[in-house]
Every structure is written in C-alpha cells, then in structure tokens.
Amino acid sequence: MSSAWAQAFSMVLDPYTILVMVAASLFGLFVGAVPGLTATMATALLVPVTFFMAPIPAIAAIVTATAMAIFSGDIPGCLMRMPGTPASAAYTDEAYAMTRKGLAETALGAGLVFSAVGGLFGTAVLMVAAPALADFALRFSSFEYFWLVLLGLTCAVFITSDRPLKGFVSLLLGLLIAAVGLGNPAAIPRFTFGNVELMGGIGLIPLMIGMFAISEILRFAVDVNPTLHIVDRPIGNVFKGMWHLTVKYPVQILRGSVVGTLVGALPGAGADIAAWMSYAISKKFSREPEKFGTGHVEGIVESGSANNSALAGAWIPALVFGIPGDSITAIVIGVLYMKSMNPGPTLFTTNPQNIYAVYLLFIIANLIMIPLGFLCIKVAKRILQVPRNVLMPVIMLFCVVGAFAINNTVFDIGVMLIAGFAAFVLEENDFPIAPAILGVVLGGMLEENFVTSMIKSEGNLLAFFERPVAATIGVLTLAVWFLPLLLRRLRRIMNA
C-alpha cells in the first residue's frame, strides 16, 4: 500500500511530469480564456501530443489542462460578457454585471478561488468513492455491466437535453457508428462496404477532434459578429475579500461542490450542466434571490465550485466502469486504452500506483491553479486580444495533423471532417452531441455484455434480473425510461 503511494509520488514529482503539467496549465488557461475554444477541445487537441508520452504524464496533461480551462473560461465572461467555455455560460451575465459595477476583482477572484475549492472537493470524493465502488464492482459480471452501460446511456439522453427525443436519435446514431467494423462479438465486418480502413471501426479520437474542435471552428467561420469588446480597466488584487466570501457562503460552496461532483459522475453530463444546475439551485435557496442577475457574487461562488468539482466527479465512473462521466472523460477513456491502462475495477487492485498518481495529479492541478490562474488574470487582456482569425485556422491545421498522427492515415482526417460537419449540422438543429459520444464509446461494451450474458444464460432474458445487483440497476434503468411516461399518463387520468 505505502510503496504504491511512494511510487505514485515519484511518478508525479518526476521533473518531466512537472514540466508537462506546467506546459499543460498554460495551454489550458489559454484555451479556456479564448471564447470558442472549450475544455473538451483542449483535451482532444492534447491527445496527439500525449500519444507520445508515458501514461502518467499523458494523464497529467489532460487533468491540468481541463482544470485550468474550466477556471479561465470565467475570465472572458467577466471582461467581455462572452463565456470562454460552455461551463462558464451559466453565470457570464452575472460576472459581467459585477464588472460593470466595478467588482471585476471579486468576480474573477471568486471564480479562481472557489474553482480550486470545488476541484479539491471533487478530488476528495473521487479518492473515497472510486476505490469503494471498484471494490464493489469486482463482483460484477456481464449482467451488471450491461445494465450499468444502459443506465449510463439513459442518463445521457435524459440529462443532457430538454428534448429527450432528439437526444435519443443522437444516441442511436452514436451506437450505429460504434457498430462499424469487425469489433463485435461475432467478428463479422459490419457497414464496412468493402473498405479496409473501416474494418477496424471508426477511430474515436478523430471522431472527437471533429465533433469538438472542427465543429467549433465552423461555427466561428459563420459567426456574424466575430469581433469582441473587452472591458478596458486595470485589475487589482483578486484575492481581496475571498476569506470573507468563504465565511459568508459556506453552505453555497459545499452545495455547489456536491451537486457538481454528482452531476459530473452522471454519464453524459459535465461541468456546463453542473454550473447551470448549481446557479439555479443557488438562486432558489438564496436569501436574496432578487439580487441575482444584477452583479451578485453568491451564484458565482456556488456554480464556480460546481463546474470544477464536476471534472473530478466525471472520472469516477470513467475509471471504475469505463463509462465516461462527461465528454472530456470520453476522450480520457480512449487515452487510457491506448496506454494499456484499461478502465475497470481491476485497475485499482493490480496497478494502484497509477490510480494514486491520478489523485495526486488532481490535487496538484487544483493547487497550482491559484498562482497560475492569478498570472493568467494579469495577462488576460493580452490573451483576449489574440486575433482569432489567425488562431482558428492554426488550430484547424493542428487538428488535421493530430487526427492523422494517431494511425498515420489520411482516412482519419476524412473521419474528422465528416464528424465535425455532422456535429455542426446536428447542433444547429438542436440535436445534443453528448448522447452520440456516449453511444460511440459504450456501443461495443453494451453489445459485448449483452451477448456474453445471453451465451451464459442460454438466451434466457430473465437472467438479467436474477442477480440482486443486476436486478436493482435494471429496475432503476427501466424506471428512468418509463417513470416520466407513467407520471404523464397518471396526471392525464387525474385531470380527466
């Protein structure tokens, strides 16, 4: 046990890893602060580079970059009324209103300090919950996994969208993409149309780069109002008054962190949904709800902690079950497989030092966020003045080379382009993207566990309810599906 921790420390404190973390921090802060570039995009862009690293530095790069990006997304919200990442969108108007009242320091400081607090809280939960879950999951068989995957997909449809029908279409399209190739229990080539490149299936990484980076650049290309206006005013000491806020809003900080971690852990929903929910909860339970929207810091404190705690929360199902908690961990799972750190409960028993290293990385990332974030705020104006018409083409070329680098094939660039175009069109038409991603990542697992279970039980479908844990998750999944329908029917009968 202790030697595993010692190993974890030596891996994380390795000069190379530290260097990677510092570089990834700067990258993450930059990407987060530039509107139109997201934390998921930062992850997708990092993959081709981490491809050439050892597992721990690779994970370090992703953990640090995403934590920084979610914080620095607050900066343009505050100075330009334009969220840097979708995770800051919930309280952008509030932060901008604070800036106009001359409270930019407080808004930015609260964003920074409580991002770190939320991130550390999420990490603590990850450290406690993940091993416990893994211990429990060691006894899981294909029946439990089948239901877990189905529950994950269900959550993705119902949580990420207020239009479950369109979310469901998106999920089905994702499952269809997952079905391409030889990777199915019977090893029959499906939907390959004689194309050799399609035999291996559609690459997850080019697909993700397309859906999260290319689609965003296409959106920039058609943006009718691409110039942004920055509030030009010197920024003072952002840490002033933070202790006062901590004492004033302890419940809000805790509630934001708890909600964030939970939403993060739910498959498909990530930091952005956590922030929206927390902001709404904050307003609902506030003693001064009338102040919300006029430049009141309370909601920023709560949802600022929520979006960073969601990041760590999302790693819980990702590490234990291989079920991504958000779109970032969907990419992370792909990276883990590439580094032969296949997610699953055995990851906690056979190589605990790797898991401990992940915990340490999260702690360090959230601690160095404070000084680096402070520096980022200082140079924010200059970052925000980076000409996006130069930046976006460079990122797109980087995507092209990155997609190519995974398998050294031009075919993957085509996959990336089509995925980017499709994501752009689907989002324009209110189809959410997250369920599709979950479908692609989990499609193989869903099918494999179903077929394995059916072979074991000789085709008896009731076997899915014979083991107690499987039955429980099964009933839960079916409840999520049918409860809303049932309730609506009931209400109609009551009204009649």
Partner 1 sequence: MKVNDAVWGALLLLLAAALLVHIQSFPTIPGQKYGPALLPGVVGVGLAVCGLLLVIKGLAIRRAGEHLHWIRFEAWTRMPRRVLAFAIAVGVNVFYILSVGVLGFIPTATIYLAALFAVLGVRLRNALPLALAVALVIHYVFYKLLRVPLPWGLLQGIAW
For residue 115, CA distances in Å to 157, 321, 480, 493 come to 28, 27, 32, 47
Min dist. Cβ of residue 205 to partner 1 (A): 14
Which lies closer to partner 1 via its Cβ, residue 225 or residue 350?
Answer: 225
Please choose, out of 11-19, 128-136, 253-261, 421-429, the segment that lies near partner 1 by the rule CB under 8 A: 421-429
- Asked whether position 442 contacts partner 1 by CB under 8 A, the answer is no
Among 196, 394, 494, 496, binds partner 1 (CB under 8 A): 394
- Asked whether position 19 contacts partner 1 by CB under 8 A, the answer is no
Among 85, 115, 184, 261, binds partner 1 (CB under 8 A): 184
- Asked whether position 216 contacts partner 1 by CB under 8 A, the answer is no
- Asked whether position 413 contacts partner 1 by CB under 8 A, the answer is yes
- Asked whether position 428 contacts partner 1 by CB under 8 A, the answer is yes
Which lies closer to partner 1 via its Cβ, residue 9 or residue 404?
Answer: 404
Which lies closer to partner 1 via its Cβ, residue 101 or residue 229?
Answer: 229
Q: E strand or H helix at 194, and its extent? A: none
| Cβ atoms of residues 476 and 155 within 8 Å | no
Kindly calculate the radius of gyration of the chain based on its CA atoms and give it in whole angstroms: 22
- Residue type, position 187, single letter: A
- Partners of 181 in the β-ladder: 190
Which lies closer to partner 1 via its Cβ, residue 429 or residue 495?
Answer: 429
Rounded CA separation 44/211 (Å): 10
Residues 47-76 close enough to bind partner 1 by CB under 8 A = 48-49, 51-52
Question: What is the DSSP code string of 214-274?
Answer: IHHHHHHHT-S-------------TTTTHHHHHHH-HHHHHHHHHHHHHHHHSTT--HHHH
Half-sphere exposure of 437 (CA within 13 A, CB side): 33
Which lies closer to partner 1 via its Cβ, residue 50 or residue 88?
Answer: 50
Nearest by Cα to 354 from 40, 59, 15: 59
- Chain residues in the site for partner 1 (CB under 8 A): 48-49, 51-52, 165, 168-169, 172-173, 175-176, 179, 184-186, 188, 190-191, 214, 217-218, 221-224, 387, 389-390, 392-394, 396-398, 400-401, 404-405, 408, 410, 413-414, 416-417, 421, 425, 428-429, 443, 446-447, 450-451, 454-455, 459
